[in-house]
Each structure stands twice: as structure tokens, then as C-alpha cells.
Amino acid sequence: MRIAVGADHAGRELKDRLVAFLKDRHLEVSDYGASGEGSVDYPDFAEAVAEAVAQGKADRGLLICGTGIGMSIAANKVPGVRAALCHDAYTARMSRMHNDANVLTLGAWVVGQGVAQETLAVWLDTPFEGGRHQRRIEKILRLEQNRS
């Protein structure tokens, strides 16, 4: 699995730790930054990761900012992206099973490293259920198409 990862200055430290976790799982990671400590704008990183997922350069994406909210809002502007802000294993599991989320957003100020790692692991390991949920995903895709 190929994972595109990005964070702003608030999420950089957690991103770096989760990149190591992903590499320990032998996943292919593309790190879109941020890499320094200076203030940066989260929409830039959300766009880069979301575009990588939408274009098929990555199978999934991970975005981290202070709360995860800004990253989620920005990433969801890219057609084909279903970014889910998750705070625990349960929301991560449901975002995959029911929504086929292809980008996970996390809030570095909201979850600690242990919860973030568990949330990410569950999100990576949970398949999409399909069935009645597929019909709903198709409706989301039509919403995107009708506005392009």
C-alpha cells in the first residue's frame, strides 16, 4: 500500500512519528511535509496529499494539523477524496467500513501518539464493506460530478 502523508507545523512532530510507524509496517510512504518548525498553511499540504490520492499516486492519505478539522475540510475539496477526521479506533473503523474513506485526518492537539497510532492501524486494516454503503458512495461521487 502506498500512503501519502502531510502535516502543517502543528502536526509535523506527530507526522514524523507516524511515518516511522508506517515504514515499520513496510508501507511505501511519500512525505509531502512539512519538514521544518516554521508556520505553514495546512491547505497546501492537504491539496498535495489529496491530489496524490485522487490521481492514483497513493492508495491512501494521512493528514495532520492541530485539530484535523482544517485538513479535512481542505482535502474534501478535491474530487474523489473522502477524508475522514477520526479521533479513535471506532471512528476510524466506521470511516473505512461505511464511507470507504481514502484520507485519514488527525488532530495532533486532540489525540496522543498512542491513540493516533492505534487509529491509523485500524484505519489501514479495515476494508470497505460495500453493499448498501456502495450506493451511498456513488451518490457522493454524483454530487462531485454535478458541481464540476
Instruction: List CB contacts of 112: < 8 A, sequence separation 6 or more.
Output: none
Of the listed 9, 26, 86, 98, which one is catalytic?
Answer: 98
Is 26 one of the annotated active-site residues of the chain?
A: no
Is 65 one of the annotated active-site residues of the chain?
A: yes
Q: For residues 122 and 99, give the distance between their C-alpha atoms in angstroms, rounded to a whole number.
A: 14
Strand order in the sheet with 60-65: 28-31, 2-7, 60-65, 103-107, 83-85
> H-type helices in 78-112, by residue range?
89-97
Of the listed 9, 26, 65, 87, which one is catalytic?
Answer: 65
Residue 86 to residues 19, 94, 115, Cα–Cα distance (Å): 18, 9, 10
Q: For residues 140 and 99, give the distance between their C-alpha atoms in angstroms, rounded to a whole number.
A: 10
Q: For residues 98 and 38, give the distance between their C-alpha atoms in angstroms, rounded to a whole number.
A: 37
Active-site residues, by number, are 65, 98
